[in-house]
Chain A
Amino acid sequence: MVELLAGPLAYLVFFLVIALYYALITLGLNLQWGFTGLFNVGVAGFVLVGAYSSAILTTPDDPGRIGGFGLPVPLGMAGAMLSAGLFALLVGIPALRLRHDYLAITTFGIAVTLQLVALNLQVLTGGPFGMNFVPRPLYDELGGQGGWNLAYLLFVAALVLLVWRGLARLTASPWGRVLRAIREDEAAAAAIGKHVFRFRLEAFVLGAMVMGLAGAVYAHFIGFIAPEDFLPILTFQVWAMLIVGGAGDHRGAIAGAVLVWAIWTGSGMLLDLFVPPEGKAQAAALQVAGIGVALCLVLLFRPTGLLGRRG
């Protein structure tokens, strides 16, 4: 058992946990964009809030900073969702009454601001060094590294399933039908007496809460978080996942996340093999530039997504 979980299989488990972490974020974005048409370009910010909130709530007391409250992990995850939701309210209330691109600008702003806070508010976040000792519950009981990773994969898979089924139910409910009506024709939805702003705000906050939960999932898996885990590139990756998977389709969002993450890590490995160490940073830049170009090409030639079946 222990040997099996070393080497390639161990890597596969690790890969899948991260892929499912992205799948959770993509599900959250899918509710916002795929079903409600809300353009959130600050995804990384909401994930960051979730990761840091859960870490602050659950880490052991640390004299170097505020908190380390040592609370149980489930409470940390609940706190992650709550605080991501609060930040969503903060940008949603001023921006969602206005034209679509105001939400893009404000979400961009909150992600930049939260990144700054994580980097500089050392008394709360540990600053550039990040936060260590984020608890990994039952680590020793489940056999350390290998066994625990496998167990965590099962946990995350169950979580993804739960969120997926929950969101699927919601979007198929009358509430979800109103969202789609708003997306198709805002004026018509308003005309039949639907409070457009409230529905959009609810969808936006709920999506952000899922992103916050994903952040907590990441923090408790790696056991260590730092500001550079939540750079704008994260937002792009998730957008690429949603667009590849096809917006408005929960299963597509999950599939897109796994597929894009596979391509991303695969191309990263190739770069590692063929690019000398001194050229790494620049080669990585080329990889990111590739995502930008790919995003534009999909928008131009397959606006409904690569895996998507419907428009």
Chain B
Amino acid sequence: MILQQLADGLVLGSIIALGAIGLTLTYAILRFANFAHGEFVTFGAYLALLALGQFQVLSTTTFGPLSFGWPLLASLAAAILATAGLALLLDRLLFARLGRAGVAIAVVMGSFGAALALRNLLFFAFGGEPQYYSRAIQIALPLLPRSVLGGVRATPDQLAVLGVTALLVIAMHLFLSRATLGRAMRAVAHNPQLATVTGIDVAAVVRWTWIIGAGLAAVAGVFAGLTVQIRPTMGLDLLLPLFAAVILGGIGSPFGAVLGGLIVGIAESLAVPLVGAEYRAAVAFLLLILILLVRPTGLFGERG
């Protein structure tokens, strides 16, 4: 049993990790806690569903044992672009203006209002019923026999989610440590004025931060839709685990966000047999309170 819970926690954790990378980057570079980040996850999932309706005609074959084929990948790409566009639009209309007013908490409140509006617009457009990218039932493959600590089974889709997340995390790491834009993002997170002096266009870095953060959130949304289901509240339900992961990892540390996401996912999964599946979100909350009491800068915090 324990291995199975770890495996399930890893899948959940990788979805949280993808969402948390974007949240920690926007938190560090734009300097506010974006309560609308969960809605980027939801938007990504629904936009992919919408796009899938268009792309489905292209091909009906799936990739081997997976439940999806090229149409879903094309839909994922469309969802990433559209969610990034949504984030840029929100920044233009709301966050940038509230930020200029200089009251830090006004931006947080604005993100709160935006989250409420976005979530309910999605509910209005799509209804509250859970939806799926595919109705096909996937057989979980035995990865380890039952004799080894209860064994591990996983669906091919879950394995694909894990694999793609690992690739994205490595790509993000290389991007932030090697690419000029990645370093510029770290520089702006540390000191925007010094970044300007160094010749970095801070406004452009902010735009790219939104694009990357929202794009990763859209991927997380599609993965959540693929392995669980698509609902208007999926982003809201993820928001607390996302914040817990970000603070656990240390605000501004993408590596920390990934580790934090995995820890939160695994903790939630391990807690299920102890307290029941209903209290999953409470586990994230307890972790959050604990880390604030013990080490508020998180495991890898670059700033105090």
A and B touch in the complex (CB under 8 A): yes
> For window 75-119 of chain A, which residues contact chain B by CB distance below 8 Å?
90-91, 93-95, 97-98, 100-102, 104-106, 108-110, 112-113, 116-117, 119
Q: Which of A116-133 contact B (CB under 8 A)?
A: 116-117, 119-120
- Alpha-carbon gap, A97 to B295, bound state (A): 12
With A282-B127, A295-B113, A299-B98 as contacts: A101 and B276 at CB distance below 8 Å: no
* Cβ–Cβ < 8 Å partners of A117 in chain B: 279, 282
Partner of B240, one of A109, A285, A290: A109
Q: Tell yes or no: B274 within 8 A of A by CB.
A: no
Q: Is B292 an interface residue (CB 8 A)?
A: yes
Per-position contact with B for A269-299: 1 when CB-CB < 8 Å, else 0? 0000000000001110110111111111001
**Complex-state Cα separation, A105 to B123, whole angstroms:** 24
Query: A213 interface residue, CB < 8 Å from B?
Result: no
Asked if A300 and B108 make an inter-chain contact with CB atoms under 8 angstroms apart, the answer reads no
A70 interface residue (CB < 8 Å to B): no
- Residues facing B in A16-58 (CB within 8 A) are 37, 39, 41
Tell me if A60 is interfacial: C-beta within 8 Å of chain B.
no
Total B residues in contact with A, Cβ cutoff 8 Å: 46
User: Would you call B264 an interface residue if the criterion is a C-beta within 8 Å of the partner chain's C-beta atoms?
Assistant: no
User: Number of A-B pairs whose CB atoms are under 8 Å?
Assistant: 134
Name B's interface SS. helix
Is B281 touching A113 in the complex (CB atoms < 8 A)?
yes
Residue A199 lies at the interface, judged by CB distance under 8 Å to chain B: no
Number of interface residues of A (CB under 8 A): 45
Beyond known contacts A106-B289, A288-B116, A289-B118: 18 more, CB 8 A cutoff: A94-B292, A98-B296, A100-B104, A101-B33, A101-B104, A102-B292, A104-B33, A105-B243, A105-B288, A112-B240, A113-B285, A282-B124, A285-B123, A289-B116, A289-B120, A292-B116, A299-B110, A303-B103
| A positions within 8 Å CB-CB of B | 37, 39, 41, 90-91, 93-95, 97-98, 100-102, 104-106, 108-110, 112-113, 116-117, 119-120, 232, 236, 239, 281-283, 285-286, 288-296, 299-300, 303
